Structure 1
Amino acid sequence: MSDTITTLPAGLATLERRTEIIKALIFEICAPLGRDSNNFVHLVDLAEAIGHDETNTSASQPGTAKLDSSVIKVVVRLSNPNAMIDEEVRVENEVAAISLVQKALISYPCKIVPKVFAWQGSKHGLGWIVQEYLPGEQLSLHFSDLQTDKKAVVLDQVAEIFKMIQSFQHGVEGFGGLGFDGKGGVVAGRSSLWSVGPFSTHAGMYQAIFAKQLELTQVTPLLDGWKGTGLQEWLQRFSTSGGFANLLAHTGDIQPTLVHGDFGAENILIDPGTLQITGLLDFDFSHIASPADEYFYSFPSFCGLVPGPFEDEDLQLLRRYQTEGFPSAPSTREATSESVDWEVARLWQGALEKHHLASPKDIDNIAELADIYWFLLDVCPPFFNLPRWLARKTEEQKLAAKKAIGENLDRYVRR
């Protein structure tokens, strides 16, 4: 019965045939788990325990654990090829990231990162991971309804976990995505999100992302290279003249840091009764970057995402507090805010300080790094190529979104 895990179908070419992977398992019940985003996630109740000595997959696959004979539930994650993630590297990147985060959290009192039992990359078909089922419900379903003291309990745990990940001595040289070498060790690789890498420097990674974004503007129908706006010429000149490289030269020495890349309420599981965190999931975007980068990708539900320089007044105030420090007493503007939950923002900052984390105000040049990151995103916003976003928008809405992004880029030009 070991073949039900180790020889799952490889040549799946269409989304409609993805369930054939699950059918290769001997199971009683298979149902969508409801944790889908960039993957199709299914909970599989096995018809019988299939973990015996001869079914140990770890000997042939890095990042995997033995499927214990007591396991009767597994999660099958099938890559969604429309998620705009690099299909060739995304599964290996995720498994390698899981391997690192498991080590980072080895002393955490609960095991909250799922074991991986088997996996296959997407080079020959649809990528998949068979991993441990972790109980719990998504924090995003409960967080906004919690009382202040309960929110503080949850955020305290999140900050503790974040501290362990961010301070982890991962041993990976360089920057970029994650993968395995021939001996099963985790090494830097091509980024699943940007399809570039690896790099010896953080500046080199950001320069490659800029070049990649410029390429994408040419093949994004909504942008058509920003033709007719004046931006096309300015962006090319900014790239070739060394202007962008000069920006990066002022960001200083950067310590390679493990970044989850999507550390938010949707990817955290809790026990609703005890409010204990039971799972940390979804490492699709994980990579090695700077200590600042997690604050550009994560914590939106906790008002912990550092905004770009051209957001509304409330978000600009949040950014100022994040990067310069929160005042001891709430300001009058906080009382009238609509786009920022200041109570949560202060709770999150308090949790970071309690666990002696490098919060945004403690990271050198974070405002400059944030400006660069959000500029890169505006050069070619990913959702302009996302099928589900395009399908939901009218032509007028698409053009309005393009206009707003173009105005943002114009502001960068004038700075």
Structure 2
Amino acid sequence: MEILDRVRGVERLIVKENQRVIALYKGKFHGVLTPGEHVLRADRGRLEIEWHDLARPEFASIFDKALFRDHAEVTEQYLTEIRAGADEVVVVSRDKRLHAVLKPEERAVYWTEAGPWTTERFDVAGDLAVPDKVQKRLTGVARLTLVTSVDVAEGHVGLLFVDGKLVSELEAGAHMFWAVTRKVAVKVIDLRRQSLDVTGQEVLTRDRVTLRVNLAAEYQVVDAVKAATTVKDFADALYRALQFAFRKSLGVKSLDEILADKVTAEAEAIAEVRTQMAAIGLTVGEIAVKDVILPGEMRDILNKVVAAEKEAEANIIRRREETNATRSLLNTARVMAENPVMLRLKELEALSEIAGKVERLTIHNGTAGLMNDLVKLRDE
């Protein structure tokens, strides 16, 4: 059969169900071959064949323009052409499942039998927001470069910029925008109360001692538009304002004054920081010095000073206690001198304490006749 076909100058083609063939003879369009067996004239290599697999439904052919220009009846029967307008985005679905997204003025051609094909058109000349019903479908599309998506968490706000211009504020939730004809950007601002630390800030005190201090401040964004558009970075602006304020306020104090009250800066400096930050949409809460770090030599000197002060305090306490004890003895002696009976009672009390510790006790006449003989305190 092959030899006979060769002699006859024909070629036999078998097209499967998932295939389509574009055939040209002598450079002219011959037709679209559908599933089945086809016998075509192929003498002297004048037959051209272009195979297409419907598993890839896009029609990609070097004969595309020629077919649509000269063979409208063929393209209408076998192909589906989709064009997006100058301000349109077209969502293409295949058998009700999203297949592709066409940006403005983009064209796509599909094999009609690979469908059915449906389209949804969206005008992007005005509102760039992607409808909620389309957002979830777009998530699985490979060409997500055509959209800008952002998730705004609770306690945050999103600022939508189109071509560098602020357009609107976005509430918490998932948002998606067409990014086809204009540049779309979303900046998310945290509206919750936050803290900022300024570490290792060097300060020269009034008595020319160099310190390093760690600062802390609490702040909150109350006007997201001002915070995002007035300065490049509002957190950095607060950081620098704190640096300048504490250098100014702590630089006029001596080391002793700073160590005595290190938790706050001057009220005037704090008020200045709050005023500056209010102008860019921030409210500033508590501002404090967390740590004061001294140079090594100065730390040793202060430790010696503190040790000397504590030693002096201990000496004062010892002297006070000794004075109180002496004063108590003097008062006791005065009472005994004025009251002989009390003196005798004290003697008996002393004898009682001593008797419990010794076996025998001899009392001489120094007790003025209290006991003149040897006293046997207990039996042998």
Q: Which has the higher strand share?
A: 2
Higher relative contact order (CA 8 A, sep 6+): 1
TM-score over 0.5 (shorter chain): no
| Structure with the higher helix share, 1 or 2 | 1
Give the TM-score taking structure 2 as reference length: 0.17
